[in-house]
Amino acid sequence: MHTKLSIIDTLKKHQLSVTDARKNILSLFSESGNALAHANIEKQSSAEFDRVTIYRTLQTFVEKGIIHTIPSSDNSVKYALCKDECAAGHHHDDHIHFICDFCGITYCLDQITVPKIKLPNGFKATQTDLIVSGTCNKCEQ
């Protein structure tokens, strides 16, 4: 069995020193539960941390396998917490993502895995992203 790691333990597990910025930004992800864009984080902690620190923290978290990126069509990449199996250089986020056109929330649909795609000869996949957009369960009337 498996208990959820504390913020601090998560940082330590990935060999990161424990700083205010990292604790704070990581807890934003935990509390929100959904994906966040750089701009979201900046708004929620603007007085506390420099913009540059947020950029560098997100980059570090991606490299260490703490968060993963979610592509978008509007030049605003989002980030969401990885599952425990992800590690530096080895993400295992094979779930699909859902972006609600109304409320803007981006969900990791962990239960639904990305289907295997048969590519033309000579093409080799290292990663597959599947992003669905539409109306989420909170926004449907």
Q: In 3-state terms, what secondary structure has residue 139?
A: coil
Which lies closer to its own copies via its Cβ, residue 24 or residue 106?
Answer: 106
Task: Say whether residue 82 binds its own copies (CB under 8 A).
Answer: no
* Residue 44 touches which member of DNA, its own copies, Zn ion, none, C-beta under 5-8 Å by kind: none
* CA R_g for the chain: 16
> In Å, how far from its chain's centre is CA 60?
12
* Residue 3 touches which member of Zn ion, DNA, its own copies, none, C-beta under 5-8 Å by kind: none
Task: Say whether residue 61 binds its own copies (CB under 8 A).
Answer: no
Alpha-carbon distance of 58 to 29, in angstroms, equals 11
- Assess contact for 36 and 28: CB atoms under 8 A: yes
Q: In what order do the strands lie in the sheet with 78-81?
A: 36-37, 78-81, 67-70
Out of 70, 82, 86, 108, point to the residue binding its own copies (CB under 8 A). 70
Which lies closer to its own copies via its Cβ, residue 15 or residue 141?
Answer: 141
CA atoms within 13 A on the CB side of 49: 22
| Shortest distance (Å) from residue 133 CB to its own copies | 5
* Binding flags for Zn ion, 66-105, as an x/- string (CB under 5 A): --------------x-------------------x-xx--
Sequence length of the chain is 141
Task: Say whether residue 16 binds DNA (CB under 7 A).
Answer: yes
